[in-house]
Amino acid sequence: MLTTDQKEAILRVAGVATPAFPSPGVLWRQQWQHDAASGSKTSPQAGMDPGTAAKQWAQAINTLFVAYSAARTARSLRKAEEARRLSALRQLQCRARADTETGSAAASSARKARRPRRRSHAMG
């Protein structure tokens, strides 16, 4: 099982915007802003202790990772289904081409069998 830090690194590499880990300095600044402007919502983490903020951060990363994994799985399944369909179409195309060639050969043989032989009048 991956740690939250590993999940966050995978998300960052994949180009998904991830929330920054709440450092104590950031939490103190948010608390100060929250206290200075009472009633305002500067951040959902304002007024939290570092442990609660870290848990919310981890929950946000886990939620993003689950969504990312589901999207990746869906994309992989779509590609596999597309490859399966293309393979089936190619097989049908090859069979149709073989039937056409076999049908042409059979028709040619039938025409030859129906055609009377030419007799040469110049013999003799």
- Interval 8-43: pLDDT, tens: 999 999 999 999 888 766 555 655 566 666 555 545
What is the Cα–Cα distance from 42 to 35, expressed in whole angstroms? 10
Tell which residue, 35, 60, 37, 59, has the closest CA to residue 47: 35
pLDDT in tens, 68-81: 999 999 999 999 99
Nearest C-alpha neighbor of 30 from the set 17, 18, 42: 42
The alpha carbon torsion through 16, 17, 19, 23 (nearest 10 deg) reads 100
> Is the model's pLDDT at 54 over the cut of 80?
yes
Mean pLDDT, residues 46-63: 83
pLDDT band, residue 97 (cuts 50/70/90) = confident
**d(C-alpha 91, C-alpha 30), whole Å:** 63
Place of tokens 């596999």: 80
Q: What is the pTM of this model?
A: 0.58
pLDDT of residue 83: 95
Going by pLDDT thresholds of 50, 70 and 90, the confidence category of residue 52 is: confident
pLDDT for the residue 28: 56
